Amino acid sequence: MPFSGSDSAPHPLVSKIKTQSGQEVPAGVFTQSFASQLVILALEEAIERGVLEEDEVTQDRLEQFLSRSGRRFYKLPDPATEGQPKIALERKGETIPMSIKSADGTLEVGLSKSMAPVFSLSWLT
């Protein structure tokens, strides 16, 4: 079974803006902070376009894709065992911000799909 993998590219925001100097803008986008929500967004868009049926997107399939299948492939412990954290996704009106900054404010990274409405994610223990 396929599984999710995040290959985010956290380039500084200033390097993602084309300038007059003709420098090439680096490929890749930063998705790590919203990776699970972007998967859900893509699935919702696929349902809207008729590529997927709503009943094909189940909690079990999402758990397999986002967690279990990758863990099985890499021979890691099964997250379904007792005590493993899970996530909860809720619609609370959250959108992906344009960018995020490092704690000290010295680095700003642009985010993929900025301003798109997404589920809020919280960890359950």
Instruction: Decide if 61 contacts 97 (C-beta within 8 A).
Output: no
- The pTM assigned to this predicted structure is 0.74
Partners of 109 in beta bridges: 12, 100
Furthest-apart CA atoms within the chain: distance in Å: 56
- Give, for all 125 residues of the chain, the pLDDT tens digit: 688 877 677 777 777 776 666 667 666 777 888 888 989 989 999 999 999 999 999 988 988 898 888 888 989 877 566 667 788 889 999 999 988 898 999 988 888 888 989 899 998 87
